[in-house]
Structure formats: structure tokens, C-alpha cells
Amino acid sequence: MVSGKKIGFEERWQESCLLPGFSDHNPLYHYCNADTFLAIITNNTIRISDLTKMNDYMETQWGIDLILKTATEHSELTDDFQNVIIDSIKKAQTFTRPLAACFSRDKDVLSQWRAYADDGRGFAIGIHPTALDNINGVVGRVLYKSKDQIEFIKKKLSLLQVMYSLSPDKPADFDESDIGIILVQAACFLKNAAFSEEGEIRIVKLFSSEDGEDGTMIVDPADSDSDIHAKYRISHGRLTPFEDARLPDDKKSIVEVVLGPRNEDTAFDVRAALNSSGFLKVTVSNSSASYR
């Protein structure tokens, strides 16, 4: 990823990487089944998986299509820069792979229980947002409304055009692929309005697809030696890259756990399991949904 570059237009660069914000004071809830809950508290990790292999088959592509459409209709963009956008996105798609973990701002939503927590038998884990700083990714709020999406895209494209036109003040290593990376990353935070009930916050980490001496693999570009590479699991019948990203070692990242409406565990057992893994003084409650 290019976020660590020391460039002459640092302020513009940082602004171009900005994502939709959210309050970082309230917990973010990760809905999951019992096996995942136990893995999270036992290993102190959160799993990030290939965003393109999730339940919305238009993940990422929805956002990319909207960015390309907006670019061609954006009157402030030159024809030359419109072509740069198209070419840079196509190039970035060939070597980037977005891995993500998804959260909700709401802790007790029936559709979330049914879709992501074993039809209500699982858990919603409340994680303090600052814990995600431990993961070398980007965190942002997903946009669903068309008006918000277009406004977000136009602002980003206008800023990128200014940066691109700053020759010869651009750093030598800033090129079109950097623009593509920023836009692919932005696309990960744009979704169809049909999913708006999820009110999603997500952390996204762009891995790189590489062919090297050790063969083909998906690696973490933030690792200077490319020693960190994605593992694989089967999800929905498909090979899916993932990484188990570590949460802070102080064991203060989990602040609340909600039991699903069909979860038969007791609050006592859940607290005991948390305590045995070092997570102390965690609030445990039950869903209020009357679902069985």
C-alpha cells in the first residue's frame, strides 16, 4: 500500500485517503457464530477475509462501477484524467485483493442475527473502535445512499486530479497505480442501498497478488519482507483468502457481548469463558428479539 509515502503534497495525499467517518466512542459489533466467538476470545484475533467472496456478490465491484460512472459524468474532470482513472482502476484490480472484517453500530438487529450469527444462536461481540488501530488497515463507514456516495466520489476524484496535475512537484514514485489503489480502497466502502439496515463499519486491508520466487501468493504489502501472506479456508464452497489479525495484547478490546435470541448459553458461562481468556469486566447481555 502507498499510505506510508513521504510526499511533498502530504496534506492532499492524506485527504485523498480519507473514508466516511463515524463515532469512535461507541462499540462496534461483530456478529458471529459460537465457533468464531470462541476463536476470537481464545486467540485474541479478528479474522479479515476476501471481501469479494462475501454474501454480496457485487462487493467492491458495485463501488468501482459507480466510481467509473461518476468519473465520466463529472464535469470538472478533464478527458485525460478520466482515462487515467479508468486505466488505473483496471491495473489496481489485477494486483490488489481487499480483505475485510465487518461490524455493525447496532447490537441487536434481527436480520444480522439471522444472516451472520447462526440464525440467532451466536453472539454479537462489542469491540472498542480503537482496538482496530492494531490492524494495519483502514476503517470507515459504509455508504448506502446514492447522494452520499456521489458526493464522496466527486470530492475524492477532484482532489486526485489536483494531485495528478502537480507535476513536477509530484514525487517520482507517485504514479497512476497509486490513484487506482486509492479508488479500489474507496470502492470497498460503497454498497447497494438494499444492505443499508446493516449500518456497517468495516476495516479493509489491501493485500497484493504476487508471483515471486516462492510461487504465487497473496501477501501483506505493509510487511517489508512480504513474510505475511494470506491463508485459505473454504467459505460458501469457495477458496477464500484470510488473515487472523491480532487485537491489542491488553485484552481490553472486547467491552460487551450480546447473546443471540436463540443462544442457549448462560451469561455466567460466557463471562467465565471471557475471564479464562483474559477479558475481564465485559458486559454480557441477551438479545431482546423474540425470535425462535
| Cell numbers standing for residue 286 | 441477551
What is the full DSSP assignment across the chain? --TT---TTHHHHHHHT------SSS-EEEEE-HHHHHHHHHHTEEEEEEGGGSS-TTTTHHHHHHHHHHHHH-TTS-HHHHHHHHHHHHHHHHHEEEEEEEEES-S--HHHHHHHTGGGTSEEEEE-GGGGGGSSSEEEEPB-SHHHHHHHHHHHHHHHHHHHT-TTSS-TT--HHHHHHHHHHHHTTB--GGGGGG-EEEEEEEEEEEEETTEEEEE-TTSTT---B-EEEEETTEEEEEEEEEPPTTS-SEEEEEE-TT----HHHHHHHHHHTT--S-EEEE------
Question: Contact 251/228 with Cβ under 8 angstroms?
Answer: no
- pLDDT computed for residue 167 by the predictor: 58
Compute the distance between CA of residue 88 and CA of residue 134 in angstroms, rounded to an integer: 30
Compute the distance between CA of residue 179 and CA of residue 24 in angstroms, rounded to an integer: 28
Compute the distance between CA of residue 258 and CA of residue 61 in angstroms, rounded to an integer: 33
Reported as half-sphere exposure (CB side, CA atoms, 13 A), residue 136 has a value of: 12
Average pLDDT (149-167) is: 88
Alpha-carbon torsion angle 289, 54, 221, 66, nearest 10: -100
pLDDT one-digit tens code per residue, 163-199: 888 755 566 666 788 899 999 999 999 999 999 988 9
Compute the distance between CA of residue 173 and CA of residue 176 in angstroms, rounded to an integer: 10
pTM of the full structure = 0.88
pLDDT one-digit tens code per residue, 250-283: 999 999 999 999 999 999 999 999 999 999 999 9
Task: Give the closest residue to 205 by CA, choosing from 178, 170, 230, 177.
Answer: 230
pLDDT one-digit tens code per residue, 97-142: 999 999 999 999 999 999 999 999 999 999 999 999 988 889 999 9
Judged against a pLDDT cut of 50, whether residue 5 lies above it is answered with no
- Give residue for cell 513521504: 6
Task: Give the closest residue to 21 by CA, choosing from 129, 109, 125, 95.
Answer: 129
Question: Contact 124/117 with Cβ under 8 angstroms?
Answer: yes
Compute the distance between CA of residue 155 and CA of residue 101 in angstroms, rounded to an integer: 26
